[in-house]
Structure 1
Amino acid sequence: MSTYSVTRSTVIPAPAKDVFPLVNSFRGWPKWSPWESVDPDMKRTYSGAEAGVGAKYAWSGNRKAGAGTMEIVESKEADVVRIRLEFTKPFHAVNPTAFTFAPEGGGTRVTWTMVGEHKGIGKVFALFMNMDKMVGGDFEKGLASLASAVGSRPA
């Protein structure tokens, strides 16, 4: 079984206390997530806590969007958000995901990491597709959108 990790980071010119809430609540994700526009008719469901540990999000969309769930499993104010990301379509996979927030310069370094394992059909898929190349660009786009969303929030 082979494993992979995709990590991207950027410095957002704002304190972590301003960035953290947009990640810590799935209801804030439509403002910055790179996947929100993949399927305009995507069905979204929020459940559990409003934010932090126990917050849940489920989506179901077209072939490109697929379907799955996310649940925040660890949340430390302005420090870390850990998510259990489970894809159910087009194939099943569980990908632990984390966002970390660290002061840097006059802003916050936000690091987005997703790990996973290639197993089953995913092993064959991995022979032809590089997960870092496939997902890394989305992470970069998402972090840039997160920076814009923080900049557009009222003070």
Structure 2
Amino acid sequence: MKKFLKILLVVLAVLVIAMFVIGEKYHYEKSIVINAPAEKVYSHLNSMKAFNEWNPWMKLDPQLQSTYSGVSGQIGDQHCWKSDKKDVGNGCQEITALIPNQKQSTKMAFEGQGEATSDIVLTQEGNATKVVWTLDAEKEYPSNLMKPMMDYWMGKSYEEGLQNLKKLSEKP
């Protein structure tokens, strides 16, 4: 019994230390090179409607209820969604910055789950465009221990989204 208690105390100590080492800030990023000029790639992310054409989360709920507000393709362009599916939930995403052919920034509010920001940065590389898609959020203790799981989920979604963007952008 003493050995079990010692092991349990060690496991608890490791978890507490891990919470502080991992920290509260969460950052994820993924990139891809697309064989198209930045102008063409940018046309697929300069509005919420264009972004949602390749957004990997849009297909998670075929019954998703979407509303758009603001001026399409300008700062303040917003997409809000409602879903009965727990893994989709409810929320809004709004464009906070647009630099033509270079960058789109958004903020997201997930009902009951917090907020996040995202940037999509384009860099011309010869005849191709490098796309870097990032997400930043705050994760409170102890949910910050989920970072490895978040990296796994985000990796799958970002990979799918970037591949969708590549297919759209490379169409003749």
TM-score by length of 2: 0.81
Structure with the bigger percentage of helix:
2
Give the counterpart of 2:167 among 130, 140, 148: 148
The one-letter code sitting in structure 1 at the alignment partner of 2:46 is N
In structure 1, the partner of 2:107 is 84
Task: Give yes or no for the alignment of 1:25 onto 2:59.
Answer: no
Give the Å deviation of 1:2.
1.1
Greater than 3 Å deviation, 4+ residue runs: none
Task: Give yes or no for the alignment of 1:4 onto 2:22.
Answer: no
Query: Which of structures 1 and 2 has the bigger CA Rg?
Result: 2
Percent of matched pairs sharing the same residue: 28
Equivalence map 1:45-60=2 (5 Å): 45-60=67-82
In structure 2, the partner of 1:139 is 158
Please, what is the CA RMSD of the aligned residues? 1.4
Task: Give yes or no for the alignment of 1:114 onto 2:132.
Answer: no
The one-letter code sitting in structure 2 at the alignment partner of 1:27 is K
In structure 1, the partner of 2:8 is none
Q: Is the 8 A contact 1:100 1:111 kept in 2?
A: yes
Structure with the bigger percentage of strand:
1
Give the Å deviation of 1:125.
3.0
Q: Is the 8 A contact 1:13 1:108 kept in 2?
A: yes
Structure 2 regions of 5+ residues with no counterpart?
A: 1-22
Give the Å deviation of 1:45.
0.5
Structure 1 regions of 5+ residues with no counterpart?
A: none
